[in-house]
A and B are shown apart, each in its own frame.
Chain A
């Protein structure tokens, strides 16, 4: 009886998936871009306590919880397309090559590079250590925690998606902290040194986008060109075929970065 009930269930699930993929046929592709800036004086972050390994102390790693660039640009904010559990989004062929590439996460100067890693489920994560000291890299979302020797390397397949970016830590050097975001699709971006981001070749239509920052969490009640993000830092944006939706400057209140 148990076998049969599960079987029936699988058939039903397949039928829905097929219907889903037909209705999700993209009518072209478009992009979204913008620049995230801090409105007000950004809060100061506490300096890191680096008390272990002379090499790390000499490298003077900094607290990257809030990084602000020129003209109050908010660096390391994350913008990505949000797909509800059980739903799928069509991925443009232009991402085919990327799906086969691995993503590199380097332990360098006793800090994680990049600070925020973006990866698609199925991609390989190459974890490197360019330092002369040994590290361990603990990626909780993949239940991965391995020692990475000096000039050594390990590899793991991105096995699961997470709703939000989750921490990457080194237990040997507790001041080291990074984040990783794993999604079933490639539509995610981290703001650069100038606060800008761009996500290309999104299926035309209306999608939910998530705005997130390490110190601010959900970037909620942030005014966009039309409307604002909701209390989970999300906004529904309409992507048009062949067009780039330019959100311009997106101002995040300094008080929300605490």
Chain B
């Protein structure tokens, strides 16, 4: 295991945005973020060095003690694909995941552009299908379930045929890529918000920088992952509907759930639409696509910024004119680097609410899965929580009401589309 003093220097000298080795695929920096925050080449190099020291390379990952990651499991998942004489499989991530999720876990593997939805980018550490409160990280069990069952309705297959220890190793590696990605974002934010353009950022020579990285930047990320198991939303015993119920009870529950679906309290109709075909609000974005959409919008805004600076320049003289010329050149350079980056982005796609009449449930089809979706919402998407935001916080719906919605959701694929729609209260969709 590496001690802290060595992790900081292992990668010094590596070229910017690349790992230590020249022949194997490197981790890449999040260039959208780097360009948006105008991080200098020197600082990109510093960030790559720090990440290399803390997390190693795709061939030789490091489980830094402070992250709580498991070195043995990471070694199973990392590196090139090969099999040993006994038939043991190595390089599991590159065998099963990399073609969609990419070496850096950025969701931009070679197949990403032809998939809809795009593969998940692990780097923000946000996961949709989990058992925890909205703000919590998923438990390892949540991630294991996603690997085991796959995500119905998407390109994500089931890996149920893999032995449990291989699934466990892959989950550890996904967590590793997330923690690494979250750390990268924290470093980039720190550099952009707090460092002067020429300031050194080298933990190997400055203990204060080392402490800042481990305590202030890495600390909260690790804490959030470690706390996930205490964030699980547990249904109250009394509220869980029994598996075997009289038909009348189910019908009553479905009816109550339907009222909630159309009513202003749960407001499901707004996005899922009056027929639940997912045809309500269709112009929104999830957090991953929104990042790209905002980047493109801000780039286009630069054009009008440059225009108005030019108008100022026409009226200005002396020092002020000189300063404006400098600002125009800077803005033009930024526009140029942003435009180049846009060419490499996956085109942003809208988040389309689920068509609930298909009976395909991405996060799992058990009642508890639907319960968690309604209670905590779907993090990273526009889907809001209807239950509490944390243990003891006020929820919008009671657990009983959430179970009624679960029953209604289950009934929707069988509800005749011609069934008269309830007139929504103050929720009419008005065309402009």
Contact = CB atoms under 8 A, between A and B. Distances in A.
Interface of A: 1-2, 5-6, 9, 12-13, 16, 40, 43, 49-55, 57, 84-86, 132-134, 136-138, 140, 142-150, 152-157, 159-160, 163-164, 171-172, 174, 221, 232, 253-255, 258
Contacts of B309: 255
Contacts of A163: 189, 193
A145 B384 contact: yes
A5 B4 contact: yes
A134 B215 contact: no
Given A9-B211, A51-B432, A132-B426, A156 B390 contact: yes
Nearest to A2: B65
Interface string B12-42: 0000000000000000000000000000000
B284 A174 contact: yes
B270 interface: yes
A86 B216 contact: yes
Given A9-B211, A153-B394, A54 B430 contact: yes
A74 B287 CA distance: 31
Contacts of B305: 255, 258
In the A-B complex, the 10 residue pairs with the smallest Cβ-Cβ separation, listed nearest first, are: A2-B65, A143-B135, A171-B382, A136-B384, A134-B264, A255-B308, A134-B267, A149-B265, A51-B432, A145-B384
A5 B377 contact: no
B428 interface: yes
A146 B215 CA distance: 31
B389 interface: yes
A217 B268 CA distance: 35
28 contacts: A6-B65, A12-B211, A50-B432, A52-B270, A53-B426, A55-B426, A85-B190, A85-B212, A86-B215, A133-B427, A140-B287, A143-B379, A145-B377, A145-B384, A145-B385, A146-B377, A147-B397, A149-B264, A150-B265, A152-B265, A152-B396, A154-B396, A160-B220, A164-B193, A171-B382, A253-B312, A255-B305, A258-B305
A191 B430 CA distance: 35
Given A2-B65, A9-B211, A152-B265, A134 B270 contact: yes
A226 to B, nearest CB: 17
Nearest to A157: B390
Given A50-B432, A174-B284, 17 more contacts: A2-B66, A5-B3, A53-B427, A85-B212, A86-B216, A146-B377, A146-B385, A146-B389, A146-B396, A147-B386, A147-B396, A152-B265, A154-B389, A154-B393, A160-B220, A255-B311, A258-B304
B432 A86 contact: no
Interface in B156-194: 189-190, 193-194
Contacts of A153: 394
Given A6-B66, A160-B220, A163-B189, A155 B393 contact: yes
Given A51-B432, A52-B429, A172-B271, A147 B382 contact: no
Most B CB contacts (10 A, CB to CB) among A49, A163, A164 go to: A163
B400 interface: no
What's the interface size class on B, roughly?
35 or more
A159 B135 CA distance: 10
Given A138-B382, A159-B135, A9 B214 contact: yes
A123 to B, nearest CB: 14
A133 B264 contact: yes
Contacts of A171: 271, 281, 284, 382, 384
Contacts of A147: 265-267, 384-386, 396-397
B323 interface: yes
Contacts of B393: 154-156
Nearest to B3: A5
A170 to B, nearest CB: 9
B427 A134 contact: yes
Contacts of B189: 163
Nearest to A124: B393
Most A CB contacts (10 A, CB to CB) among B134, B216, B301, B426 go to: B426
A208 to B, nearest CB: 10
B371 to A, nearest CB: 16
Interface string B374-392: 0001010011111001100
B396 A148 contact: yes
Contact of A16 (B66, B211, B267): B211
Contact of B430 (A1, A52, A134): A52
A144 B389 contact: yes
A258 B193 contact: no
A84 B195 CA distance: 10
Contacts of A160: 220
B135 A144 contact: yes
A209 to B, nearest CB: 14
B297 interface: no
A52 B190 CA distance: 40
Contacts of B429: 52
B431 interface: yes
Contacts of A1: 1, 65
Most B CB contacts (10 A, CB to CB) among A9, A40, A148 go to: A9
A47 B123 CA distance: 36
Most A CB contacts (10 A, CB to CB) among B135, B271, B287, B386 go to: B135
B431 to A, nearest CB: 7
B213 to A, nearest CB: 10
Contacts of A43: 308
A53 B211 CA distance: 52
Interface in B345-393: 377, 379, 382-386, 389-390, 393
Contacts of A6: 65-66
Nearest to A164: B193
Contacts of A159: 135
A53 B382 contact: no
Given A55-B426, A155-B394, A143 B134 contact: yes
